[in-house]
Structure 1
Amino acid sequence: MSRKDNPQGTDNVLVDLGFDDAEELSAKAALALKLNELIDKRGLSQTEAATITSMTQPKVSQVRRYKLQNISLERLMQALVSLDQRVEIVVRPAHRARGSGITVAA
């Protein structure tokens, strides 16, 4: 994960900071935010969340702290599904104004 100069601001702070993997990090953060909201709403401990999501407790701890470097998008999506969520991936042509990229709405 290296940083580049990007003097012009965007709607993605990670892009603005120059992270090469900014779109993936943003997608992971959005999924982790939703996962953490569900864990909080259900009052689950990390151990309980780990059992339900088939993750290890240390992985749940990483998600809880948004340390997402060693957790795949797929793993986060599977964890959401195990918490009775529907995850949809939509692919459509990019509009010129916004360009190509990845967006997650959770």
Structure 2
Amino acid sequence: MHRKRQLQGTDNVLADLGFDDAEDLSAKAALAFKFNALLDKRGLSQTEAAAITGMTQPKVSQVRRYKLQNISLERLMQALVSLDQHVEIVVRPARRAQARGITVAA
């Protein structure tokens, strides 16, 4: 019986799957998760969310379904601000034990 060689994974499953823009997609997913949680908590429809955030209803629908290729990080951050959230960006030197990159905590 032959064993398959196991590959070492990272903290970013999208990078492990080979996405070129894994860091960007991961950050967008974290922001979209927070956005969707807020819409659910407030009971907002896509049309209501669009009116509040200035997005179109189809764009809100894309975020609700995590179809994030055609939406920018900036737009997601602006939408969260429109929903009374504070978005903070922190830049600091990467520690040796921690790889450089983008991390979003939402």
TM normalised by structure 2 equals 0.93
Paired with 1:83 and 1:64, the residues of 2 have a C-alpha distance of 15
Q: Which residue of 2 aligns with 1:26?
A: 26
Q: Which residue of 1 aligns with 2:105?
A: 105
Moved over 2 A (4+): none
Larger radius of gyration: 2
Which secondary structure state, in structure 1, belongs to the residue aligned with residue 50 of structure 2? Answer: helix
Paired with 1:33 and 1:99, the residues of 2 have a C-alpha distance of 24
Aligned pair count?
100
Q: CA deviation at 1:8?
A: 2.4
| 1:8-47 aligned within 5 A | 8-47=8-47
Structure 2 runs not aligned, ≥5 long: 1-6
- RMSD of the TM alignment (CA)? 0.6
Which secondary structure state, in structure 2, belongs to the residue aligned with residue 49 of structure 1? Answer: helix
Structure 1 runs not aligned, ≥5 long: 1-6
* 1:32-78 deviation digits (Å, cap 9, x = unpaired): 00000000000000000000000000000000000000000000000
Which secondary structure state, in structure 2, belongs to the residue aligned with residue 101 of structure 1? Answer: coil
Paired with 1:63 and 1:28, the residues of 2 have a C-alpha distance of 9
Which secondary structure state, in structure 1, belongs to the residue aligned with residue 20 of structure 2? Answer: coil
* 1:3-58 deviation digits (Å, cap 9, x = unpaired): xxxx4211110011111110000000000000000000000000000000000000
Q: Which residue of 1 aligns with 2:76?
A: 76
Which structure exhibits the higher relative contact order, with contacts defined as CA atoms closer than 8 Å and separated by 6 or more residues? Answer: 2
Q: CA deviation at 1:102?
A: 0.1
Paired with 1:99 and 1:36, the residues of 2 have a C-alpha distance of 29
